[in-house]
Structure 1
Amino acid sequence: MTPEDLLPDEMLERFRIRAKGYDERNEFFHEDLAELKGQGYLAMFAATDDGGLGFGLQQAAAAQRRLATAAPATALAVNMHLVWTGVAHLLQARGDDSLHYVLREAVAGEVFAFGNSEAGNDSVLFDSNTVAKPLADGGYSFTGTKIFTSLSPAWTRLGIFGKDSTGEEPVLVHAFITRQTPGYTIKDDWDTLGMRASQSNTTVLDGVVAPAGRVFRKLPVGPNADPLIFAIFACFETLLAAVYTGLGERALDIGVETVHRRMSKKSGKPYSQDPDIRWRLADAAIAMDGLYPQLDAVAGDVDALVNHGAMWFPKLVGLKVRATETARTVVDAAIRVSGGGSYFSGSELGRLYRDVLAGMFHPSDDESAHGTVANAWLGPIEE
């Protein structure tokens, strides 16, 4: 199945129309989610034998790129579900079936969310401010605050992690809870500049318990080579890049359509004939042309189990930064050639301008990404 089959034009147009209303009302994309479920979209990483679509990361990224051309906030939130199902798929492809139940449950209609982000935790997956307390039966209770929990109104499974400091060496504990599990609160605090339909509210964990059967990893604090870490980074960074690539693609299309339509009073010709505007859009198109093959190649290498060794993380964070920064530049160019109408809140370009700014806040941020790449090429800073 191709992304065009999965997301036909008429469906994307419905999503695009609804995106405007979701943004204006700061409302979750319930209708979009129902349609995506009906298409089997949330089960794309599950094998066809399990009732899924049998997609790899390359196909998933292509689908997310296409979805983002219509509804970036919808695509961004769905990413968080696809990260967990993608992680389960990538681990399975590497001989680890420990999260196969995630794929089975996605086929059954469960919605997974990513509850790992914490304010002030610049160690990301390598440390946690959340306290994980071991229980006698092998389960854990978690106490802490998670931010940017996309899919807050709809998730049925939430992946979380915290730090257990009760042993000789602290360990980071990864687990899932269900929506029915007591001990957590979702704040109604998602009132943001853009990506509003994602409803990425703050989640407060107050002793919420994950049973032993849903505790799926215990890892040392700090960087490590566990396949789970690679799988999370590979899915998170690649699918983020796909969303912002789709956003930039849509902005360029709108810019082209607009300058063909706008007429210059001075020349009597459409702005598409203005040399300065042509140069600006050509520059945006050149930037986007470099992004499409990079996204496709990185995702394809993950699927093909290519061994890039220590260069894998630089490739992943480099892709994320390239996509988010390129999309921001392209949206800016499209707005500059489209005139003052794009400044109004009802303008699709105006919404894309606000949505694209979220890209700078997703991990890895600029500083972290450049540090990762510098260490790979130059070695660590000498002390």
Structure 2
Amino acid sequence: MPASVEELLPDALLETIRGRAAGYDEANSFFHEDFADLVEAGYLKMFVPEADGGLGYSLEEAVRAQMRLAGAAPATALAVNMHLVWTGVARVLQARGDNTLDYVLAEAGRGEVFGFGVSEAGNDQVLFDSRTVAAPREDGGYEFTGTKVFTSLSPAWTRLGIFGRDDSGVEPQLVWAFIDRDKPGYRIKDDWNTLGMRASQSNTTVLEGAVAAPDRIFRKLPVGPNPDALIFGIFACFEILLSSVYAGIGTRALDLAAEAVHRRRSLKTGKSYAQDPDIRWRVADAALAMDGLYPQLASIARDVDTLADHGKLWFAKLAGIKIRATETAKDVVEKAVRVSGGGGYFRGGELERLYRDVLAGLYHPSDDESAHSTIATAWLGPLDD
């Protein structure tokens, strides 16, 4: 197994993946070839312990890997994130003495692919409530009926992590489970036709009485915010790995900006734009922004790995890194576009695609409003009733 991120994703493989990205984007098609290459490399097993045939990566190492992959193909990295979130959650729980999801790691080691069927249109409670109905069965399993949006890896997952609301008891509860691709009770819409991140094929999944067996029900939680380790694990892995993708986009945009200003020449001065003081300031401003993002991202991932205790500030820190990463990447891509000339406005260029892809960061939770609310509550306490 590769010992380092650079060995896991060697330059030659990255260039192959980068070379396919424009075609996937233009055709609005899933990254089947990339996926096959990543599976062969063992990339989807990065959180699986070495004893189970995986890489045994820490979250900090996974951050570096996802940044590197996203610099070549953002949509590929974003979709793979969803599998890595579930396997990452399993590792986070395991490190804290909770073996609930050990079977996720074992199955990922055998090649199963986990999708993330959590997001719902109009559900601003995100993890703390659900529009999906979870109906209990006599055998202890559940049937789920509802609609999940932004289900990345739609063409490839073999296990889908979902949750729904059970109102059959005295108090409502949120039921978390996995369903299998080879079982009935769901359908995947062919409705992913978006501005960017097109190769992720994050289609809508309609649950129509999808059955989760009793041994696939892994959490029942009260409706509303709670400190359960599962919620922490999902939030931590989702926000940190998501941030890694956008950090990778920002890094690549900065590289493309530097290449462009060296390549472009001024008719007035005869010099490259790398000698223009205004252009130099803009590129330097982008580099400064990225340099501030890298240590924050590495530090918060390391804190999860080492079981650091940030108490009530944990969710504020996690929401904060997501906002910092997505907004920084968006700003850096825009600066790269500004210095790269009018040719970047034409379809088919890498920077044009990055400009569309980076906008997806606006839509992922936590959004700007909820992040600021979380951070304000952490520092100032809740609003008065």
Please give the TM-score of this superposition, normalised by the length of structure 2. 0.99
Q: CA deviation at 1:2?
A: 1.6
Match for 1:63 among 62, 65, 74? 65
> 1:298-329: CA deviations, max 9, x gaps?
00000000010110000000000000000000
Aligned-partner SS, 2:99: coil
Q: Which residue of 2 aligns with 1:278?
A: 280
Aligned-partner SS, 1:69: helix
> 1:333-360: CA deviations, max 9, x gaps?
0000000111111110000000000001
Match for 2:330 among 313, 328, 331? 328
Q: CA deviation at 1:202?
A: 0.2
> 1:31-54: CA deviations, max 9, x gaps?
111111111111110111111100
CA distance in 2, matches of 1:78, 1:174: 21
> 1:143-202: CA deviations, max 9, x gaps?
000000000011100000000000000000000001011010100000000000000000
Q: Does 1:184 align with 2:186?
A: yes
The worse-fitting range, judged by mean Cα deviation, of 130-139 and 95-104 is: 95-104
Q: Which residue of 1 aligns with 2:206?
A: 204
Q: CA deviation at 1:229?
A: 0.3
Q: CA deviation at 1:378?
A: 1.0
Q: Which residue of 2 aligns with 1:373?
A: 375
List aligned pairs for 1:74-89, cutoff 5 A: 74-89=76-91
Q: Which residue of 1 aligns with 2:303?
A: 301
List aligned pairs for 1:53-202, cutoff 5 A: 53-202=55-204
> 1:80-137: CA deviations, max 9, x gaps?
0000000001100110111111011111111100000000000000000000000000
RMSD of aligned Cα (Å): 0.5
Q: CA deviation at 1:293?
A: 0.2
List aligned pairs for 1:351-366, cutoff 5 A: 351-366=353-368
Q: Does 1:243 align with 2:249?
A: no
Aligned-partner SS, 1:162: strand
Q: CA deviation at 1:291?
A: 0.3
CA distance in 2, matches of 1:362, 1:93: 27
Aligned-partner SS, 1:126: coil
> 1:255-297: CA deviations, max 9, x gaps?
0000000000010000000000000000000000000000000
List aligned pairs for 1:254-269, cutoff 5 A: 254-269=256-271
Q: CA deviation at 1:65?
A: 0.6
Overall identity of the aligned pairs, in %: 70
Aligned amino acid, residue 6 of structure 2: E
CA distance in 2, matches of 1:87, 1:94: 11
Q: CA deviation at 1:3?
A: 1.2
Q: CA deviation at 1:56?
A: 1.1
Aligned-partner SS, 2:77: helix
- Unmatched runs of 5 consecutive residues or more in structure 1: none
CA distance in 2, matches of 1:208, 1:113: 15
Q: CA deviation at 1:26?
A: 0.3
CA distance in 1, matches of 2:245, 2:334: 17
CA distance in 2, matches of 1:262, 1:40: 40
CA distance in 1, matches of 2:48, 2:10: 21
CA distance in 1, matches of 2:185, 2:347: 39
Q: CA deviation at 1:379?
A: 1.0
Match for 1:216 among 182, 203, 218? 218
Q: Which residue of 2 aligns with 1:315?
A: 317
- Unmatched runs of 5 consecutive residues or more in structure 2: none
CA distance in 1, matches of 2:63, 2:123: 27
CA distance in 1, matches of 2:31, 2:345: 24
Q: CA deviation at 1:381?
A: 1.2
Aligned amino acid, residue 3 of structure 1: V
Q: CA deviation at 1:244?
A: 0.2
CA distance in 2, matches of 1:379, 1:258: 48
Aligned length: 383
The worse-fitting range, judged by mean Cα deviation, of 120-129 and 98-107 is: 98-107
Q: Which residue of 1 aligns with 2:340?
A: 338
Aligned-partner SS, 2:290: helix
Query: Runs ≥4 in structure 1, deviation > 4 angstroms?
Result: none
Aligned amino acid, residue 223 of structure 1: P
CA distance in 1, matches of 2:291, 2:194: 31
Aligned-partner SS, 1:125: coil
Match for 1:25 among 27, 34, 37? 27
CA distance in 1, matches of 2:382, 2:141: 38
Aligned amino acid, residue 306 of structure 1: A
Aligned amino acid, residue 225 of structure 1: P
